[in-house]
A = this chain, B = another copy of it.
Amino acid sequence: MPAETAPSLADVLRARGLRLTAQRQLVLEAVQRLGHATPEQVHQAVCRTAAGVNITTIYRTLELLEGLGLVTHTHLSHGAPTYHVPGERSHLHLVCHRCGAIEEAPLSLMHPLAEQLRTDRGFSLDIGHMALFGTCAACAAEEES
């Protein structure tokens, strides 16, 4: 088990004098399980276990967890922020601007670029989850006709 990947929620919270609540556990768990999900989707997932949880709490909790470094968000396709656990289930998203399809690709494709950015400008690419936009093979074929 990798040492840095498992800072327990309880510990992180306690370290800052924050409280461990069922909602926070559920939200983190949902984000981990879903891989990448919008606040809406997290809400639905959480509600499947604890029906009464308010959407407001989801937003507040996601924001908190992000501040704590336990989750991050990126923007896949259309205006919907999606949250995920850094380093977990890592892969690239190739989002087709034309048909909206999302395919996944191995993260290793990014390594050379990540390396160069770090060397050249000290910028550490978040390669946890990453969205790249373009035109998928199918749509590219159509456009040529």
Question: Interface of A with B (CB < 8 Å)?
Answer: 72, 74-75, 78-79, 81, 94, 96-97, 103, 105, 109-110, 112-113, 116-117, 121-127, 130, 132-137, 140-141
13 contacts between A and B (CB under 8 A): A78-B81, A79-B79, A79-B81, A94-B121, A103-B121, A105-B121, A109-B116, A109-B117, A117-B134, A121-B137, A123-B134, A123-B140, A124-B140
Number of copies of this kind of chain in the complex = 2
In the assembled complex, the Cα of A136 lies from the Cα of B79 at a distance in Å of 23
Q: Which 8 A-B pairs have the closest CB atoms?
A: A122-B137, A75-B75, A125-B134, A126-B134, A124-B135, A126-B133, A124-B134, A94-B123
